[in-house]
Structure 1
């Protein structure tokens, strides 16, 4: 691991200290680290975006705090801008707080539509996030996994700009977990 990314990992670990994934008691850092490790193989700044992809929407840090952390880890101005741009693309826009008048279903629909327009790199990181989340859902909420997979397969079929290799891997995995191949 490069010095810059190791520095960022330490900062992210501190920010997520004590945070757990609901229902599982798994430290949240395991999720973002896993997404980072997957995405790193498929796109530039996939590792960094994977580590930080939930930080803004979860209120773990602000844009300025993320930029400051990247700077202190020796990322260049161009690298900082690229990483922040990816994280912003991956941050949910249609949240309950921002759009309380919309139903959960409508917010999901709008978010899926928005994700279709993000960059290839952001879609690639999203594929990594979905790959992790499918296995998490299967392990901790098996009663909800088929409905979840149906939604995510539909989303994946529409997100077609990212790494074709990872996209196919995630779709194949989703179909393998969905024995009825309902989509």
Structure 2
């Protein structure tokens, strides 16, 4: 994957925001997941800033970064209003809304059910990034935690078949990997 200078600067900002966070199963810096998702998306990207969205997709969920902070940084990097709006919308669309903190009385199954229904409605370019996120997460989870993988795959099954408006080739790849993971764990 080749990133522009602007994208590398954005990636540096994202790395700084994620700080010392680590991947659960590998202990690698968390930013390796973000770069992996961006790399997957880069082979299928169009003009909708999917790479930037992939790099930033966990900012609002996993860091103290706010939309205003990200917007200010995007302004400093020279993204125009349309680009900033697309990136911010994408990151927002990929940020879980039905979290334990926001809905403490809902159990995980209920929260993930509502989250699945929300994901059905995200923009096609956000669906493309979600496919890449699923691909990267699925391989790590299935390889390292078969028990949780079964739960995770059930949750993915509740929406994957309804988010089919993104890049068709990446969607096929995502569904294939998902199906292989399910069969592996049977």
TM-score of the two chains, using structure 1 as the length reference: 0.91
- 6, 23, 31: which one aligns with 2:33: 31
Instruction: Give a deviation string over 1:62-104, Cα, whole Å, max 9, x none.
Output: 1111111111222112111110011011111111111112121
Instruction: Give a deviation string over 1:98-157, Cα, whole Å, max 9, x none.
Output: 111212111100000000011101111111100001011022213332443243234211
Give the equivalent residue in structure 2 for 1:158: 162
Unaligned runs of 5+ in 1: none
Q: Which moved more, 1:38-47 or 1:27-36?
A: 38-47
Distance in 2 of aligned mates of 1:81 and 1:25: 33
CA contact (8 A) 1:156 1:167 kept: no
Distance change >3 Å, CA 154–CA 101, structure 1 → 2 = closer
- 84, 87, 95: which one aligns with 1:91: 95
Which aligned runs of 4 or more in structure 1 are off by greater than 4 angstroms?
none
- 8, 11, 20: which one aligns with 1:9: 11
Give the equivalent residue in structure 2 for 1:19: 21
Give the equivalent residue in structure 2 for 1:148: 152
Distance change >3 Å, CA 180–CA 133, structure 1 → 2 = closer
Q: Which moved more, 1:16-25 or 1:131-140?
A: 16-25
Unaligned runs of 5+ in 2: none
* RMSD between superposed Cα atoms in Å: 1.7
Give the equivalent residue in structure 1 for 2:53: 49
Q: Aligned pair 1:137/2:138, yes or no?
A: no
Distance in 2 of aligned mates of 1:178 and 1:97: 29
TM-score of the two chains, using structure 2 as the length reference: 0.90
